[in-house]
């Protein structure tokens, strides 16, 4: 690590002799594999951008020149070249480096961007601001993957960037043919056509076909000219999409050739207007397990062996695997079921259904808005779509859920993986917003299963609903053992029937087990706690009001934001029912939570057995003594 350890910032990269760059790239890859195999993280994307990142920092003077990463999970090499080698061993750990760009870490991190397709919008705004303030010596560079180009925001930005012929924005397309999985759609086909054959090879191929298909003897000159024109059109058509909009196109460039990338970037910088530099890279480059992993090229690394990349076999299925198996079984029973995802087929558990019914699974690319409105169209056409997203990504399609799905009373089921605190991916990936923002959607039903059994049950109930949208949310990781039900009260699962009836605790989803632990602790202190799990948390079950009347305090416990969440909805329901029992909501504070393990983040928010027990003891009024 002699070369890498000598780098304190981009100036050291620019001063490094060109002959030493291959050794630097090798050291970077060695550190990436060694560290990420221990901490977890996005290994494949960063192995693929080593040379590209070196070239960027040799051509541009960060932070004076602004380099924006879309998405931020491909910025590990950027961190290493901007003075963060020493902290890299604690990547994604509490107190260590974030797994995404972080403005608190470095002035070289411009945007904390971990949701795709947005960097070009930032770049457009930055370039406009620099033009307005006379800062003509600052370059704005946006690095975007081909997968992120499937998102609508990227093309909204391109539409504006291309319109300003004298405003320099450099778009670097990191084209590895994949997002999480292989990139899909027309954009993928366009880039594939550009990278698989250069202009000369395409011209030769056209020439051979023309000679073979068009006899020269007796052929009218007009037909020959027409064939030439058609061939030239085919030759330049892929680039024409960009150049026709006003973007100068450079490429394709071998993204693993530092000198070639440098040359292209220097040409782009000197052009003086918007430029697209098309760099072809290989995800997982330089590490055999990633190169041969056709599933996801070690995109999100959860393995332990830095030599083989071997997985540790899971002892119990994850929430995602439970859902995927149940959806596959349901699809076999119900031919009207289809599934939609936004470039997250394997992460959301759709492999089983795709294997059995590939024609009924649609991956639309990184385009959540399109996914949701397309689902509305599918429902209108007589099928039942199941839209599978990470909870944090549903935020991007709220308007479509509200006005395209709910307004039309479409029977669409949304399955939100990674709901609540996800932990080490940091603030952008905590799925803590859904329970708050979805409360305002008319006619929407929300289920938060507490274990595998209730997840299966809720999914089967959700796909029966045809007159409006349904949502099922569950966290990252492995569900706890199925929790026994003591009794049921009008659709409420009673997990603990406490005596005396001091505290009614309403638990949401996977925090039901935590609620039971708290009830045990309070029982030792002489307090009776009734623990209930509605499973379907919206609309609020009216039975909660009846139980609340019999208890002295109501406590709600949820893995979501307290503002406008389930607890707030229950409090409103009790007010409407004229129940005066005080309600205390316990959940996540409305702030962006730092990265760390899920248990660490929950502890920071006071969601632990000791802290909840202490707080409940403080709010339960003392019993009146009888004479």
* Contacts (Cβ under 8 Å, ≥6 apart) of 510: 420, 448, 450, 451, 474, 475, 479, 480, 559
Q: Where are the beta strands (DSSP E) in 135-254?
A: 140-145, 170-175, 248-254
146 assigned binding-site residue: yes
Residue 128: other Cβ atoms inside 10 A: 16
Give SS3 for 264. helix
- 26 belongs to an annotated ligand binding site: no
Listed in sequence order, the DSSP H helices in 16-164 are 21-39, 43-47, 50-59, 76-81, 119-132, 152-161
29: Cβ contacts below 8 Å, ≥ 6 apart: 47, 50, 285, 286, 287
List of E strands, 215-310: 248-254, 275-280
Report whether 434 belongs to an annotated binding site.
no
SS3 sequence of 397-450: HHHHHHHHHHCCCCCCEEEEECEECCCCCCCCCCECCHHHHHHHCCCCEEECCC
Reading the block at residue 305, the tokens are: 């062996």
Tally Cβ neighbours within 10 Å of residue 494. Answer: 16
Name residues whose C-beta falls within 8 Å of residue 332's C-beta, 6 or more positions apart in sequence: 356
Question: What letter does residue 484 receive in the DSSP assignment?
Answer: P
Which residues are known catalytic residues? 283, 368, 396
Backbone angles phi, psi at 59, to 5 degrees: -95, -40
Residue reference for tokens 């406490």: 498
Separation of alpha carbons 410 and 465, rounded Å: 9
Structure tokens that stand for 153 in this block? 């925001």
Per DSSP bridges, beta strands 492-496 and 487-489 are: antiparallel
Q: Is 262 annotated as a binding residue?
A: no
List, in order, residues 6 or more apart from 490 with CB less than 8 Å away. Answer: 541, 542, 543, 546
**Annotated binding residue at 147?**
yes
148 marked as part of a ligand binding site: yes
Distance, CA of 330 to CA of 455 (rounded, Å): 13
Long-range contacts of 402-406 (CB under 8 A, 24+ apart): 402/440, 402/441, 404/372, 404/373, 404/376, 405/372, 405/373, 405/375, 405/376, 405/379, 405/469, 406/441, 406/442, 406/443, 406/444, 406/468, 406/469
The answer on whether 115 is annotated among ligand-binding residues is yes
Computed on alpha carbons and rounded to an integer, the radius of gyration of the chain in Å comes to 28
Backbone phi, psi, residue 77, to 5°: -65, -40
Contacts with 92 (C-beta within 8 Å, 6 or more apart), sequence order: 39, 40, 41, 98, 99, 424, 425, 426, 595
CA-CA distance, 225 to 235, in Å (whole number)?
Answer: 15
Residue list for the binding site for thiamine diphosphate: 73, 114-116, 147-148, 176, 368
Residue list for the binding site for Mg(2+): 146, 176
Residue list for the binding site: 73, 114-116, 146-148, 176, 368
């Amino acid at each position: 690590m002699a070369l890498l350890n000598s780098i304190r910032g981009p100036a050291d990269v620019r001063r490094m002799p060109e002959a030493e760059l291959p050794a630097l790239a090798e050291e970077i890859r060695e550190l990436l594999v060694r560290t990420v195999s221990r901490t977890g993280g996005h290994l494949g994307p960063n192995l693929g951008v080593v040379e590209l990142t070196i070239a960027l920092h040799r051509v541009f003077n960060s932070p004076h020149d602004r380099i924006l990463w879309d998405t931020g999970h491909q910025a590990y090499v950027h961190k290493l070249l901007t003075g963060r080698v020493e902290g890299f061993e604690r990547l994604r750990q509490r107190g260590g480096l974030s797994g995404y760009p972080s403005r608190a870490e470095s002035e070289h991190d411009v945007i904390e961007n971990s949701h795709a397709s947005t960097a070009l919008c930032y770049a457009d705004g930055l370039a406009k601001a620099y033009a307005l303030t006379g800062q003509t010596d600052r370059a704005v560079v946006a690095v975007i993957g081909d997968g992120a180009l499937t998102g609508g925001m990227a093309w909204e930005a391109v539409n504006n960037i291309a319109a300003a012929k004298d405003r320099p924005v450099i778009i670097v397309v990191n084209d590895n043919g994949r997002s999480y999985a292989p990139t899909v759609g027309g954009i993928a086909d366009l880039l594939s056509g550009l990278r698989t054959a250069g202009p000369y090879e395409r011209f030769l191929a056209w020439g051979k076909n023309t000679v073979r298909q068009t006899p020269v003897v007796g052929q009218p000159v007009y037909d020959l000219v027409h064939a030439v024109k058609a061939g030239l059109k085919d030759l330049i058509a892929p680039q024409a999409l960009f150049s026709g909009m006003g973007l100068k196109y450079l490429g394709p460039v071998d993204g693993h050739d530092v000198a070639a990338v440098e040359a292209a970037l220097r040409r782009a910088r000197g052009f003086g207007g918007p430029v697209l530099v098309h760099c072809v890279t290989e995800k997982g480059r330089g590490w055999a397990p990633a190169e041969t992993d056709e599933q996801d090229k070690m995109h999100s690394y959860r393995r332990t062996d830095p030599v083989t990349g071997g997985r540790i076999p899971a002892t119990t299925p994850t929430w995602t695997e439970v859902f995927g198996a149940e959806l596959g079984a349901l699809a076999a029973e119900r031919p009207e079921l289809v599934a939609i995802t936004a470039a997250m087929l394997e992460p959301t558990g759709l492999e089983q259904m795709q294997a059995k019914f590939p024609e009924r699974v649609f991956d639309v690319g990184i385009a959540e808005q399109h996914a949701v409105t397309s689902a509305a169209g599918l429902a209108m056409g007589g099928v039942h779509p199941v839209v599978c997203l990470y909870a944090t990504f549903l935020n991007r399609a709220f308007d479509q859920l509200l006005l395209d799905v709910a307004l039309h009373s479409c029977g669409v089921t949304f399955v939100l993986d990674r709901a609540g605190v996800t932990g080490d991916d940091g603030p952008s990936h905590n799925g803590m917003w859904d329970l708050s923002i979805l409360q305002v959607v008319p006619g929407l039903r929300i289920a938060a299963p507490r274990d595998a059994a209730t997840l299966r049950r809720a999914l089967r109930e959700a796909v029966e609903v045809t007159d409006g949208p349904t949502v099922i949310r569950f966290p990252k990781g492995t569900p706890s053992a199925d929790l026994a039900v003591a009794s049921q009260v009008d659709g409420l699962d009673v997990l603990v029937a406490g005596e005396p009836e001091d505290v009614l605790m309403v638990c949401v989803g996977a925090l039901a087990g935590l609620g039971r632990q708290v009830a045990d602790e309070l029982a030792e202190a002489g307090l009776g706690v009734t623990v209930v799990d509605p499973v379907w948390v919206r609309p609020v079950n009216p039975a909660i009001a009846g139980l609340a009347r019999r208890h002295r305090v109501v406590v709600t416990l949820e893995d979501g934001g307290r503002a406008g969440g389930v607890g707030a909805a229950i409090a409103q329901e009790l007010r409407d029912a004229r129940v005066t029992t005080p309600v205390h909501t316990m959940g996540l504070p409305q702030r962006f939570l730092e990265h760390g393990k899920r248990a660490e983040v929950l502890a920071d928010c006071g969601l632990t057995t000791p802290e909840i027990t202490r707080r409940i003891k403080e709010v339960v009024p003392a019993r009146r003594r009888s004479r």
